[in-house]
Chains A and B, each alone.
Chain A
Amino acid sequence: MKVLVLGGSGYIGSRLCALLQASGWATPVSGSSRSRASGVESRQVDTRDPASLALALRGIDAVVNCVAGDARSIADGAGRLAQACRDAGCERIVHLSSMSVYGHLEGVVREEAPLDPTLGWYARAKCEAESRMAWFAREGGHAVMLRPGCVWGPGSELWVGRIARFLRSGRLGDLGVAGDGWSNLVHVDDVCQAVINALRSPFTPAQILTYNLAAPDSPRWNDYFVDLALAIGATPVRRLGPWQLRLDAYLAGPPLKVAEKVLSRVGQAGNIVPDPLPPGLLGLWQRHLKLDSRAAERDLRVRWTPYPQALHEAVQELRSPRRGRELRRSAADAPGHPSAGPRADAAITHFSRDESILGGSNG
């Protein structure tokens, strides 16, 4: 079986390619906006261009859609992909959606819960992408949609690297009520395992299946922040109030964001200015949404990486000397990410940036 992994150079995509390759069961083809071979076959694809997609789909039996980026690459990209797959006779898509499709919903949430696209452009785009997948299934395809929480693991920039920097600089700590939400952290390998088992599930035409993905033992954000801070020695952990976070996000955020953009334009590595604190994270950290992922456990036979082990792996990677050299800041490297700021630049820059992070973790 030949599997095209779109977004194959991203955090999840590259790990998935490596695991698929190692499994010997399927041949991964890494599809990304910039062709870059690293042990797996790769094809250059622009998911917003139907012709480019059609070309990339030649000889492909199934597609895994790990594309991240701006609203257009997410929503329109999914639509074009669905269309191209139907046209090319590729009958299987595993689509990486996100828990942000549940919007403001709180409590324990199963897959049947109603969608709420009001959380921002990202949630809206993810909801739209899901409806394109539903169209693909109605047209006779077999679609599996995965809704991960926050995908982390070794080398995760969003949920480990950046958080660690916030902790070290005292801008993050124990947030009290503002960090009482469930983290819904899920190890990147567990997501890949879910994808692979979804690819191996029996083919049923015109079927769409949806699964939440979050480790059942993933802690509340405060616990994660304190655990990570203790593990990396960012102590004593600070207790921050909601107003301190809001000042950081809304007052310091915009100038930092501008500085980051300017520096990246002039080709400077982004480690000079502190990371801006995206306001979306403030909402995420206090949202009491707990993904119920028992269905994935049952149907996709996901065996969750225990939280202490995942934390240990992430911290080890953070400490490894390779990382300092290869670390680059990236705003959105996982489809599970609900809070990246709007990006004017296209998916191209996005993918290329992620590669440098991932080389260290998976190479």
Chain B
Amino acid sequence: MILDANSVERGSRLAADVCVVGGGAAGISLALSLSGQGISVLLLEAGQWEEHAPTQSLYAGEVSDERLHSPPDKYRQRRMGGSTTIWGGRCMPFDPIDFEARSQVPLSGWPIGFDDLLPFYPEANRLAEAGRFSYDARDALGDDAAPMIRGFESPLVRTDGLERFSCPTDFGKRYGKRLQVASDVQVLLGANCTGIRLQSDGRAVRELEVATLEGVRFRVAPRVAVLATGGLETARLLLASRDVAPAGIGNEHDVVGRYYMCHIAGNVGALALNGRPRDVRHGYEVTPEGVYCRRRLSVPAAEQRRHGLANAVARLHFPRITDPRHRSGVLSGLFLARRFISYEYGKRLNDGSPATPSVYARHLLNVVADPLDTAGFLTHWVRRRTLAQRKFPSVILRNRTNRFSLELHGEQAPRADSRVTLSDRQDLLGLPQLRVDWRYSASDIESLRNTLDLFAAEFERTGAGRLEYRPETLEEDVMRFGAYGGHHIGTARMGADPRTSVVDSNCRVHSVHNLFVAGSAAFPTSSQANPTLTLIALSLRLARHLARGLAPHAALELQEAAA
């Protein structure tokens, strides 16, 4: 059932077995997975079905350096479906090495392993509508699938890894009906959780405070509460709930909000491949299930260990859009249209380089000089993206010259001083706003540099091509837009030791026996992978854990009902 929170009686106290806060990828997956097991689920979603400016403004906050991190109300959405309403849909699982404690990544190591998550990845893949859980090109595309780069085989560089693309699926619109018909799930829209109230001993959640923008306030007294509000909001709620735990819930050791991670990403270098352009797979391919997927370059786990590298991938990409020297009408068209593209997708079209009249003129010239390509691109875009249900994931240019840049996406090492804290300002409902102070390490850049050197050496050795980049500008290249937007990781990290973590291996807050965290806030490290698929898998694992714990009671209730 889905109701508006304003229909709840003011001052009432609602009961539920599980109260899930947040109706995004994590919360919806969790609620769906709990359904049908004799457990009553109450899902609190702050927003409605569409974006609503006053609700979205509750996400506003500060950043310590705008060049390094977007404002906190960007790249996330406070509405049904959460940030899946704007995501790009890129899916891939974490790698087994991501879960290991690695000397090259300080503070790394999860209390669970890849095998603990593996059983939940196929269902996560299904929910994300990314087809089969198969991320190897030969397996996903068939044995006769062409290699990424014909003639390039290296034990140090993996080229048969894939990323898959969701439609991208808006979890609210896609699964709203399932939630609507589930007799054991109740969704309240417009329900903002404004505080977590603990019992006086601080060891259990007593109730959650809920408020609507229309002024209705009520409470929820669940047996178990799950925060599924994303990597930023989860920390905010924990930190802001200070009545019993003065430093905030789960924050006895000052860990909540720390170790905040995003990804290090950017376009780097010039890769000139030998051989024919048609022997290179740089763009999207389609699996038998109809899912777009794309190859990537990566370093196998053993080589990461041997060379002391953090995990990273590289995709074959086109030149810098803002620089008209690429002479591509399509890219120049994108540059000229950037004001019509949303903040999240347009950000990387504004790289701070001066957009002088002459630059504009040269872009315009590119468009005019390349009319067929531009028209062909537009036709394809309208057919395969604008009108399509499964959207062509991003701009791909025809490969004419076998020249690419590398689009890097790498993990950053967790660090305690990269953190979110509460600011002195409050939102409309009285909750303190967030202040984001995201930081990265020189070692993150160094690791990417070593990764690029390794790629370059292997292209050289095999004779497949030549990769050149400027090591001295690498940091500038990957930091031009700051942290990769939308990946909010690690603020309530998982671990065995409460002094360096907030939740245990079951995502339970160490000090509070019925409070759990679903989502990327619980990731201790960030991986090369985008977080969505793994946060769904982790939520499904959490659902199984909760169902097991709550099941005896549920069975008893059913018996009573039948009697």
Asked whether A119 is an interface residue with its Cβ less than 8 Å from the other chain, the reply is no
Contact yes or no, A240 B289, CB < 8 A: no
- A363 and B366 alpha carbons, distance in the complex (Å): 69
Quick one: given A236-B288, A237-B290, A239-B290, are A176 and B181 in contact (CB under 8 Å)?
A: no
Contact yes or no, B290 A176, CB < 8 A: no
Which residues does chain A contribute within 8 Å of B288, judged by CB atoms? 230, 235-237
Asked whether B380 is an interface residue with its Cβ less than 8 Å from the other chain, the reply is no
Contact yes or no, B182 A176, CB < 8 A: no
Asked whether B390 is an interface residue with its Cβ less than 8 Å from the other chain, the reply is yes
Asked whether B499 is an interface residue with its Cβ less than 8 Å from the other chain, the reply is no
Which residues does chain A contribute within 8 Å of B388, judged by CB atoms? 239
Which residues does chain A contribute within 8 Å of B129, judged by CB atoms? 174, 176
Quick one: given A107-B182, A230-B289, are A240 and B389 in contact (CB under 8 Å)?
A: yes
Interface 0/1 of A277-309, CB less than 8 Å to B: 000000000101000000000000000000000
Asked whether A248 is an interface residue with its Cβ less than 8 Å from the other chain, the reply is no
- A108 and B389 alpha carbons, distance in the complex (Å): 29
Which residues does chain A contribute within 8 Å of B558, judged by CB atoms? none
B468-515 residues with Cβ-Cβ distance < 8 A to A are: none
Quick one: given A176-B167, A176-B174, are A236 and B290 in contact (CB under 8 Å)?
A: yes
Nearest to B169 among chain A residues (CB) is: A176
Select which of B174, B287, B389 is within 8 A of A236 by beta carbon: B287
Contact yes or no, A176 B177, CB < 8 A: no
Quick one: given A226-B289, A230-B289, A236-B289, are A176 and B183 in contact (CB under 8 Å)?
A: no
Asked whether A61 is an interface residue with its Cβ less than 8 Å from the other chain, the reply is no
Which residues does chain A contribute within 8 Å of B278, judged by CB atoms? none
Contact residues on A (Cβ < 8 Å of other chain), bracket: 20 to 34
Asked whether B286 is an interface residue with its Cβ less than 8 Å from the other chain, the reply is yes
CB distance from A262 to the nearest CB of B (A): 34
- A236 and B291 alpha carbons, distance in the complex (Å): 8
Which residues does chain A contribute within 8 Å of B181, judged by CB atoms? 106-107, 288
Interface 0/1 of B371-403, CB less than 8 Å to A: 000000000000000001110000000000000
CB distance from B59 to the nearest CB of A (A): 27
CB distance from B32 to the nearest CB of A (A): 12
The DSSP consensus for interface residues of chain B is loop
Interface 0/1 of A234-270, CB less than 8 Å to B: 0111111100100000000000000000000000000
- A174 and B389 alpha carbons, distance in the complex (Å): 10
A70-126 residues with Cβ-Cβ distance < 8 A to B are: 106-108
Contact yes or no, A177 B290, CB < 8 A: no
Asked whether B178 is an interface residue with its Cβ less than 8 Å from the other chain, the reply is yes
Which residues does chain A contribute within 8 Å of B178, judged by CB atoms? 180, 288
Nearest to B285 among chain A residues (CB) is: A236
Select which of A176, A226, A230 is within 8 A of B389 by beta carbon: A176
Contact yes or no, A173 B183, CB < 8 A: no
Which residues does chain B contribute within 8 Å of A240, judged by CB atoms? 389
Asked whether B326 is an interface residue with its Cβ less than 8 Å from the other chain, the reply is no
A183-233 residues with Cβ-Cβ distance < 8 A to B are: 226, 230
Contact yes or no, A177 B286, CB < 8 A: no
- A237 and B286 alpha carbons, distance in the complex (Å): 9
Asked whether B173 is an interface residue with its Cβ less than 8 Å from the other chain, the reply is yes
- A177 and B170 alpha carbons, distance in the complex (Å): 11
B30-53 residues with Cβ-Cβ distance < 8 A to A are: 36
Interface 0/1 of B252-295, CB less than 8 Å to A: 00000000000000000000000000000000001111100000
- A235 and B388 alpha carbons, distance in the complex (Å): 17
- A174 and B182 alpha carbons, distance in the complex (Å): 22
CB distance from B292 to the nearest CB of A (A): 10
B142-185 residues with Cβ-Cβ distance < 8 A to A are: 167, 173-174, 177-178, 181-183
Quick one: given A107-B183, A177-B173, A288-B177, are A239 and B389 in contact (CB under 8 Å)?
A: yes
- A108 and B181 alpha carbons, distance in the complex (Å): 9
Q: List 19 A-B contacts (CB under 8 A).
A: A106-B181, A107-B181, A108-B36, A108-B183, A174-B129, A174-B290, A176-B167, A226-B289, A235-B290, A236-B286, A236-B287, A236-B289, A237-B289, A237-B290, A239-B389, A239-B390, A240-B389, A241-B389, A286-B177
List A residues at the B interface (Cβ < 8 Å). 106-108, 173-174, 176-177, 180, 226, 230, 235-241, 244, 286, 288
Listed from nearest, the 5 A-B pairs whose CB atoms lie closest are: A239-B390, A235-B288, A237-B290, A236-B290, A241-B389
